[in-house]
Amino acid sequence: MKTRRIGDFNVGEVGLGCMNLSHAYGVPPSPELGKKLLLEAFDLGITHFDSAALYGFGRNEELVGPTLKPIRDQIMLASKCGMQGVDGMRVIDGRPETMRKTLEDSLRRLQTEVIDLYYLHRWDKKVPIEDSIGELSRMVEEGKVCAIGLSEVSANTLRKAHAVHPIAAVQTEYSLWTRNAEIEVLDACEELGAAFVAFSPLARGFLTDTDLDPANFAEKDIRRNMPRFQEPHFSNNAELLTEYRALAKEAGCTGAQLALGWLLAKRPYIHVIPGTTSLAHLRDDVAASEVELSQDIIERLEKLINRETISGPRYPAPTQAEIDTEEFAA
């Protein structure tokens, strides 16, 4: 697999978002299947594994850490603090003392002495970003964290954080149907030398060859509460898929590979971390590193799927209020 830089690490440009193995999309796979998928990912060339304290309220780290421990020195292990489960509820808390406890818990669950890339999962707007980054910088000084990342922040917040300590990576949702990063954050990453890590690069399964039916989503699938998967938005968006899949066929790749290949072609410092519970989909995703898209395909793809042709916001209003990313003018 081709590689790209994140801080001092050289990792495969296609990483693995590990959330799906414990969290968010209904009933997770068995631990045995999760372990098998993690090891298969490494065998396929993935060296960038992304977890978080929030995922499964600690269960994801408990799965990822011990499974990858035998190859720990051959991978970049990422996790996150600042948003975790408290009494069964998701809580955003960027206070230094909370972040410190989260780190110690994560190190124990991951069975490692150092986390290679440690993100502030969400900026807690009640806490100055400088205070949260200050605590992360102390973790670096102590040798418990190698590099600092931020998730779902604006360019302004990124610059404030970077003034306290260099930011190695910004992780934000980015795909053909979610283009907010193009407003300013991508340029800010280039300016500051930070990598950009695109999560949900397959539009939460929409930009694949799988025919999704929101009516069949599991009871606890987070997509049930996302406007783009609700009517009338979903039916409007689904009308784009016939032409989308035709473009993939013309490009000689699958729908997933088209979405990932587009992202990798956008900027040389973009990384993608699709998540999956399927070994077949995992192999499909990894093969995106071999996809070369023509400029004609890219232009037609961007004309087909963009913020004006997609129906519905990406999050419901309460969730949108929690994040700091720039928004397009209405």
* Active-site residue set: 55
**CA distance linking residue 52 with residue 229, whole number of Å:** 25
**CA distance linking residue 45 with residue 121, whole number of Å:** 26
- Residues in contact with 55: Cβ distance below 8 Å, sequence separation at least 6, in sequence order: 18, 19, 21, 22, 23, 24, 61
CB 113, CB 144: distance < 8 Å: yes
DSSP assignment of 71-83 equals GGGGSEEEEEESE
The two three-digit tokens of residue 133, written as one number: 């980054």
The residues pairing with 147 across neighbouring beta strands, listed in sequence order, are 117
Q: Hey, how many other C-beta atoms are within 10 angstroms of the C-beta on 160?
A: 16
The residue ranges of DSSP E strands in 179-230, in sequence order, are 195-199
The residues pairing with 48 across neighbouring beta strands, listed in sequence order, are 76
Ramachandran area for residue 10 (φ above 0: left; ψ -120 to 50: alpha; else beta): beta
CA distances from 127 to 61, 92, 130 (A): 26, 11, 8
